Amino acid sequence: MISLATTYLGLDLPHPIVPGASPLTDDIDTVLRLEDAGAGAVVMRSIFEEQIALEQLAAHRHLDPHQSAEASHLFPDTHVFALGLDTYLEQLRKIRERTRLKVIGSLNGTTPGGWLEYARSIEQAGAHALELNVYAVPTDVLRSANDVEAEQIQTVRAVVRTVKLPVAAKLSPYYSSLPHFVATLGQAGARAVVLFNRVYQADIEPVKLEAVRALHLSTPDELLMRLRWLAILSAQPRLAANGHRLDFAASGGVHAPIDAVKALMAGATTVQVVSTILKHGTERLRSLIDGLRRFLEENEYASLDAMRGNMNLARSPNASAYERADYIHLLQSWHGTV
């Protein structure tokens, strides 16, 4: 039987398919079912700095009965968040105690001090690694792209210096030069990059004049952008962190074994899955693992490493498909049915 053993963030895993950050880890029984289905690691739901701040503000409001009614509306409802910090850390400890899984904490912060404080808390609770979700929406015309990227790089560097855990950075796809930014993350000490954070867009209800929040599960079409950047980034020889080659995790659009195969061929170290498990149940993980192994056997690969990256920019027989040249070719050759 072909081994699917993988090393990600310095962690030894039985295979490269990892349940990503999601509600799946909120319930210990679900986590146990994931382990029974073959999981070797899980990424916990992101803890947001804003929710911790809200809990602290709400506690202050409770302790101050003389607070004015006008000020009360400044405290958003803490129930918008699924897990508070204490509950989150307790759940992390529980997963460590009751399973053999590698547990990757996930933190979404906004301020340098907040990142560091909460990263320490996650480390002390027993996480094996930490995923930093650096998602932000710049709205200030006075903040340049350089300012935004420099702040994110500094955040990663500060967290790496604060904790002993291996750190991954989860990114959006919207950077002027993603290869340069990723290389700088590696120099700042990141051990892995997760491609990509799904960006949730608000819709507009035109009659009620409301911005409407909507959350939809991913589709396989979303994998295509991940494949492109995995193929480009995994082929770069200089993306290294403190002597380590950067790892890459594909996140978004993996629903079937063949999707995982494609991501690994493009250069992914691991493949994170959420939507397909939420849709089909925890046993879906087992079918993904078995399907990946079956593909390797049927196509006579000697090992997972023999397949990994064989379609990246450096090794693909038609590397131009990932570059501008193919974009020009497609547009010039398409005529439609009109």
Q: Are 76 and 102 in contact, with CB atoms under 8 Å apart?
A: no
Residue 50 in domain? no
What is the rounded distance in angstroms from the CA atom of residue 68 to the CA atom of residue 61? 10
Question: Around 236, how many Cα atoms within 13 Å sit in the side-chain half-sphere?
Answer: 20
pLDDT of residue 166: 97
Residue 180 in domain? yes
Residue 72 in domain? no
What is the rounded distance in angstroms from the CA atom of residue 46 to the CA atom of residue 165? 16
Q: Are 291 and 20 in contact, with CB atoms under 8 Å apart?
A: no
Place of tokens 């892995």: 192
CATH number at residue 260: 3.20.20.70
What is the rounded distance in angstroms from the CA atom of residue 186 to the CA atom of residue 135? 18
247 φ/ψ angles, rounded to the nearest 5 degrees = -90, 155
Residue 241 in domain? yes
Structure tokens at 180: 């340069």
Residue 54 in domain? no
* Residues of the chain predicted below pLDDT 70: 50-83, 110-112, 240-242, 324-338
Q: Are 228 and 322 in contact, with CB atoms under 8 Å apart?
A: yes
pLDDT of residue 330: 56
What is the rounded distance in angstroms from the CA atom of residue 31 to the CA atom of residue 336? 48
Q: Are 119 and 159 in contact, with CB atoms under 8 Å apart?
A: yes
pLDDT of residue 62: 41
pLDDT of residue 54: 57
Residue 236 in domain? yes
The 10 Å CB-count burial string (b at 16+, else e) for 206-226 is eeeeeeeeeeeebebebbeeb
150 φ/ψ angles, rounded to the nearest 5 degrees = -65, -40
The 10 Å CB-count burial string (b at 16+, else e) for 6-17 is bebbebebebbb
pLDDT of residue 334: 58
167 φ/ψ angles, rounded to the nearest 5 degrees = -120, 135
pLDDT of residue 297: 98
What is the rounded distance in angstroms from the CA atom of residue 244 to the CA atom of residue 113? 27
pLDDT of residue 59: 42
106 φ/ψ angles, rounded to the nearest 5 degrees = -135, 130
Structure tokens at 18: 């990892």
Count of domains observed in the chain: 1
Residue 64 in domain? no
Residue 292 in domain? yes
For the chain, what percentages of helix, strand and coil (3-state, to nearest 5) are there? 45, 15, 40
Residue 27: domain span: 6-45+82-333
Which residues fall within 8 angstroms of residue 5, CB to CB, at 6 or more apart? 12, 13, 14, 15, 304
pLDDT of residue 244: 78
